[in-house]
Amino acid sequence: MHEPIPSAMTSPIPPVERETDHRRRREGYDRVHVYARRAALTFEASETRPSANGGGTLPTVAIDGAAAAEQPKTYRWSDKLRFQVTPRELTYVTAVFLGYLPGVAFRNHGENHDKGLVIEEQSERGAIYVRLFGKGTNCAVPIAAGDIPTITGLLMRQLGALTGLEGAGLLSLIRASARFYQVPGRRLQAVEQGR
């Protein structure tokens, strides 16, 4: 014997919950792990510290790097290196993942100004190469094409929260900003060649 199917009148439909708080972290949504043989990275939604003049926090992304441990497929997360992308840098990092820039390099981060981040497109390998360095640590991880969309989504969500833009407006901002970024080394080469 079958039980009667409840009608819409007798069983209330729960309201659809929407994620509106960019600070709420969900695995696979606001945190992305990427593993390689010698190191691993975690991209995570983050916020800046409150400014000294009483200003609030701003959405951004932090990247953690950990070297491989002696045991296979394990990493030394207790000795991780954390690099927080500044709100100004977030547009350019996103531009690399979208293919609008070939690469970016940021140095002099951290209290001791000893941390850095290099991100380069390696289209011949179908990957984006990310290297974190500082405090005697160097974590280099190629990000395979299959992981790029998830990381790009995270970057765009945080940049959208920062700028208040989404969709075509956000892409236009990233594309326009990328035009003005000086890829490290290229400007110097252009000056030396008289361009």
Q: Which helix (H) or strand (E) holds 94?
A: helix 87-98
C-alpha to C-alpha distance for 175 and 177, rounded to whole angstroms: 6
Q: What is the DSSP letter of 51?
A: P
pLDDT of residue 192: 36
The CA distances from residue 147 to 6, 31, 117, 154, 182, in Å, are: 43, 12, 19, 11, 26
Every domain of the chain and the residues it spans: 31-178
pLDDT of residue 29: 64
* CATH architecture, domain 31-178: Roll (2.30)
Task: State how beta strands 81-84 and 103-109 pair.
Answer: unpaired
Q: What does residue 123 show for φ and ψ, rounded to 5 degrees?
A: -60, -30
pLDDT of residue 53: 72
pLDDT of residue 172: 97
pLDDT of residue 190: 37
- Max distance between CA atoms of the chain, in angstroms, equals 87
pLDDT of residue 21: 40
> What 3-state class would DSSP assign to 19?
coil
pLDDT of residue 72: 86
pLDDT of residue 193: 40
pLDDT of residue 49: 85
- List of the chain residues with pLDDT < 70: 1-29, 52, 54, 183-195
The CA distances from residue 130 to 68, 80, 156, 172, 174, in Å, are: 15, 15, 18, 25, 20
pLDDT of residue 116: 96
